[in-house]
Structure 1
Amino acid sequence: MYSKVVSLVFAACFSVALTNKYRENSEESFDRKESELSSSVFIEYKNPLIDISSGKIQGRVLETVDQQKVYFAFQGIPYAQPPVGNLRFSEPLPPINWNDTLLTVQDGPRCIQFISIAGSEDCLYLNVFTPKLPRKDVKEQNKDLLLPVMVWVYGGTFVNGEATVKSFSPDYLIEEDVIIVTFNYRVGVFGFLSTGDYAATGNWGLKDQILALKWVKENIQKFSGDPDKITLFGQSAGAACVSLLIQSPLATGLFHGAIMQSGSALNSWAHAQFPRKSAFAIGRLLDIKTNDSSVLIEQLRKIDHRTLQTTSTSTNLGETIFHNPLDGLVFAPTAEVHHPGAVFANKSHEALKDGNINRVPIIIGFNSQEAIPFVDVLKYLKPYLATYDLFATRLVTDSLNIKSFIIKLVLARLIRLKYFGLIPIVFSTSQLTQFVSDDQFVRPIYEYVRQSSKYNPAYFYIFSYEGPLGVDGKKRNQPGVGHSEDNNYLWNRDTNIKNPPTEDLLTRKRLVKFWTNFAKTANPTPEFDPILQNVTWSPTNIKGMVYLNISSNLQMNTDFSKYSIKFWNFIFNSYGEQPYDTY
């Protein structure tokens, strides 16, 4: 009983830790009151109106926190019909037109979240933040004056996340004259349940993202945005989604550049382990007695969302316990059966290796020690960690496709000696951090860069700046930059520390500059810039893997020795069985 309780606690903690150190937010949006604006600005821009494809919307005017730059916020714009009833576990449909002016001055409801019944199934809304609007007295806009657009995909282990100004206020990015779009997409059972056949093909959350991009393509010029200069960017699970959309023929032409922070399609956690098995496990818990996929989905559509979410959480926790969480998640993207609406139906590594991807320039990288927040949780769950000492083959990634138990035992010994020596894993905090960082982030992202650079300009980075802004002012338990710290340098978040040190502010300015330069020119350093120490960030290639080390000093580098790249290349080349899906 004790081990069972510990395992349940571990599963919950692991899922929560993997969601960008996710914090439960109230249903209230974080609003900057219009009264904070200067009266002259308020009078000049009050009640901005735009006529989009579905009808008229009214937004509001705000100012950025640093430069008091005026921008216009349109929040809670429906980009799809509510995915309820027969639209649950279905492709999203465009919104129904409305006649009256729609007030879009606060965030729409978030989607239903993990270990919570908060949120709503009616959650497919987006926000547009623009520093300028078209002049009403000009009928046709000059395309040269349109602004680049950056569309954000949040992370959250595919079970959490929300596009709210509380979590992702765009102040710092807006100050560089770009348009920011954030949007909700379905997560958890509602976003990624799949039966592995035509009854429920899965990837509903990814299909939401594609529809949101189509909305942006169609409407963004009404907000002074350039529909031919759209950059898709995301972090963690959001980065994996961006990567999968690069792989998807359905997303061809919908964006023109991509930024992936701490995630890719090759990460093991970017794919569901056993989607069909998980779907029927939920059905059994709800007393749906069938082996027929169509009957299962028909019955699941009748279950109220609170019951379905609670049941799926139980399934998620149970499967995380009994299967190795290092080998994938319960609710996540999955290769679909071949059909016209499939987001992807092939193995990700094979698609990448063979060049079956969209041709767009990319920025991609990872934080210097991604695993820190996860290991900080795991060290309190030593009985569960002990299972990796007792069953060492759990250290051998399923990405290798190895069927032989004997070979797995051999590799388990090699991996254990490489990272832990003779010390029990349960007592090896720093070694465990390095192993999880390498296994879950560095190796797959490095391979993604290596393969994709054959076809797309690829700007590779490691974010290694250890500032208090990254950890919300808390004390660091280990050296290195943990998962999600980079988000605090891009977004004006409700949890960010006030008055960060000067060097943190400089790092924030640099990261924002790199990202927005890329959105504007497809090059993060199009010209010498003293703020960026006049560095030239060169794209990498398969013959010479180079990266930009983003720290107090900005330097191009080729040294990956900290991350055991050669060791893992030897493992995959000597023992792996192709074709690979993840890596």
Structure 2
Amino acid sequence: MSNIITWAMCATTIGIWCPENDPIVQLPNGKIRGVNHGNYLSFESIPYAEPPIGKNRFEAPKPYSGKWLGIRDATKPSVTCIQWDEFYDKKDLTHGVEDCLLINVYTPSLSSEKPYNVLINIHGGAFMYGNAIEDKIDLLMKNRQLVIVKMNYRLGVMGFLSTADEVITGNFGLKDQRLALEWTKANIAAFNGNPEKMTVIGESAGSTAVHFQMLNKRFENLATSAISFSGTALSDWGIDGHAAEKAVAVAKYLNCPTDSSSSIKKCLQSKDAADIVRTSKEFQKNNIVPYSPSILFSPVVEPKTAQNAFITEKPETIIRNGKSAEIPWLASVMRDEGAIPCAEYMKKDSNGVEIIEQLNERWTELAPINFCLNNVVEDSELPAYTNKLKQQYMGDKRFNAENYFLFQKFCTDVIIENGVKKAWALHKKYTKSPVYGYMYDNPPPSGIGNLLANRSDINFGTAHDSDTSLIFNSESGIAAFPENQQKMSSHFVEMIENFCLTGTLQFGSCKFVENSSKTKGFLAMHITNDSCQSVNADQLP
């Protein structure tokens, strides 16, 4: 009751000191000062792990142990983890810093009567790029119902390099995320958040990361529900099948000895971080599309003898053996996921011919690497496998502008949709908790496909990020979206809020079906501009 009285006095009395106007939070490490944005308070750049530098490079993260005197400034956005970023508008695509393991917290108030449920967002970016501040939270904070948490984690070669043994175990980015979740569980009450009601969400690689977190039983103690927007650990790019080869290649590029994993690690720990990250470009040479493949380093299955191992079995095996976390999970797919990255093949070369035509001569060479098919079958089987897929999607047709959407359907299925549908089926069969799904099928007037292709004469459909762009990409409210997208934005935001607050899932007036081992088939919501209905997953477009 005293909190209510204080809040009322703050709102009506001139001259009284109000904690909301100069928000200060006490943490075990010391006090931090945030910023009042009007309808929410922000506390940014809070360290949750020891800097992953020097001897801590290529090691599991250690909880931050530092103390500070006085009040630490938490008013500035967090730095970006060092990365090779294909969307960075500079000649050198490397930017960011290595000491970056920071967490951001946004709360409606420090003095409400009841604590707020918590929404934790893991950013996307192909495990290669991105940062905690890029997903805007204004729409989700509008109704002042949730505490929101976002974290940085190590990316690319710094976060996912592995020698496929106990020396450089890999999965450091996933281990960072887990430590950030543990930090949130331990500290969120100080921000008026409820540590017993936490929902974890992510998009793209962040979506896949959420699913990876679910593959560990410990996740049950950290989250009460989860949402994966477009991506699962069962995607072909979910597990890197050539990690050790890449580690050796990185070492060679930097003139490090490669006689043992220990030699590689010791040498790389002495190198400049930016030089290590710049080796990414060496894996993208001799390609027809710039910065492809875009996913160079990703999670691995670690040896059972590895210390602090994140996963030691394949994702499918973990699910089938009932070892994944038992919490309600929503996983989604866009109808035209493959527009990213495949719209880029519709760029025109200097002769005015679409780049896609070059696939006619180089398909068996480029497809295994660019679409991670080399993670699926042995190298000796790749030519037959890639040609089988070509026949399945293209038939006897050529790769060209006229047949582009046949190619995009291949990209949609192989990159995202097949993995999502497989995850739906496996979790429904082998877990006891509810599984939900939807396909979003509502093309915006233009999207990231147009940006990648550098052309406006094609509608690439409901591409990757079409739903989450309506949730996270606005600082000026729903009115910033095209009119036919505003209703969708409202429904998505309400869907997330209700899932966090009540555990129920609904899009507009449509209630999601709760799939379990007792339900027949898998029923997913098919969402279009003017309808939403549950259909069998096999009947989705």
TM-score category, normalised to shorter length: 0.7 to 0.9
Does residue 320 of structure 2 align to residue 346 of structure 1? no
Aligned to 2:153: 185
The 3-state SS of whatever aligns with 1:57 is: strand
Partner deviation per Cα, 1:440-489 (whole Å, 9 max, x = no partner): 11111101011012313111001112234865998572352111122221
Q: 1:318: how far off?
A: 4.5
Aligned to 1:62: 37
Q: How is 1:300-379 mapped onto 2 (pairs within 5 angstroms)?
A: 300-310=268-278, 312-318=279-285, 329-338=295-304, 339-379=306-346
Match of 1:87 among 50, 56, 72: 56
The one-letter code matched in structure 1 to 2:490 is: K
Query: Contact 1:372 / 1:478 at 8 angstroms: preserved in 2?
Result: no
Q: How is 1:67-216 mapped onto 2 (pairs within 5 angstroms)?
A: 70-95=39-64, 96-115=66-85, 116-134=93-111, 145-164=114-133, 167-176=134-143, 177-216=145-184
Aligned to 1:555: 533
Query: Contact 2:357 / 2:399 at 8 angstroms: preserved in 1?
Result: no
Aligned to 1:511: 492
Query: Contact 1:260 / 1:364 at 8 angstroms: preserved in 2?
Result: yes
Aligned to 1:447: 422
How has the CA–CA distance of structure 1 residues 415 and 108 changed in structure 2, closer, same or farther, with 3 Å as cutoff? closer
Does residue 372 of structure 2 align to residue 418 of structure 1? no
The 3-state SS of whatever aligns with 2:84 is: coil
Instruction: Choose 268-277 or 486-495, whichever is displaced more.
Output: 486-495
Find the aligned partners of 1:353 and 1:73 in 2 and give their Cα distance: 41
Find the aligned partners of 1:99 and 1:404 in 2 and give their Cα distance: 61
- State the number of aligned residues: 500
How has the CA–CA distance of structure 1 residues 344 and 495 changed in structure 2, closer, same or farther, with 3 Å as cutoff? farther
Query: Contact 1:469 / 1:497 at 8 angstroms: preserved in 2?
Result: no
TM-score by length of 1: 0.79
Find the aligned partners of 1:404 and 1:316 in 2 and give their Cα distance: 21
Find the aligned partners of 2:237 and 2:31 in 1 and give their Cα distance: 41
Aligned to 2:236: 268
Aligned to 2:503: 522
Find the aligned partners of 1:476 and 1:334 in 2 and give their Cα distance: 40
Instruction: Give percent identity, aligned residues only.
Output: 26
Match of 2:438 among 461, 464, 469: 461
Aligned to 1:256: 224
The one-letter code matched in structure 2 to 1:334 is: V
Unmatched 5+ stretches in structure 2: 1-11, 86-92, 348-354
Cα root mean square deviation, aligned = 3.1
Find the aligned partners of 2:171 and 2:15 in 1 and give their Cα distance: 44
Instruction: Choose 499-508 or 102-111, whichever is displaced more.
Output: 499-508
Partner deviation per Cα, 1:369-417 (whole Å, 9 max, x = no partner): 0011322202333364224556698599456546874x963x6565334
Find the aligned partners of 2:404 and 2:16 in 1 and give their Cα distance: 54
The one-letter code matched in structure 2 to 1:97 is: K
TM-score by length of 2: 0.85
Instruction: Choose 202-211 or 532-541, whichever is displaced more.
Output: 532-541
Aligned to 1:385: 359
Find the aligned partners of 1:160 and 1:391 in 2 and give their Cα distance: 26
The one-letter code matched in structure 1 to 2:102 is: Y
The one-letter code matched in structure 2 to 1:363 is: L
Find the aligned partners of 2:446 and 2:399 in 1 and give their Cα distance: 31
Q: 1:200: how far off?
A: 1.0
How has the CA–CA distance of structure 1 residues 479 and 295 changed in structure 2, closer, same or farther, with 3 Å as cutoff? closer
Partner deviation per Cα, 1:412-450 (whole Å, 9 max, x = no partner): 565334321211124521100011101111111101011
Find the aligned partners of 2:341 and 2:440 in 1 and give their Cα distance: 18
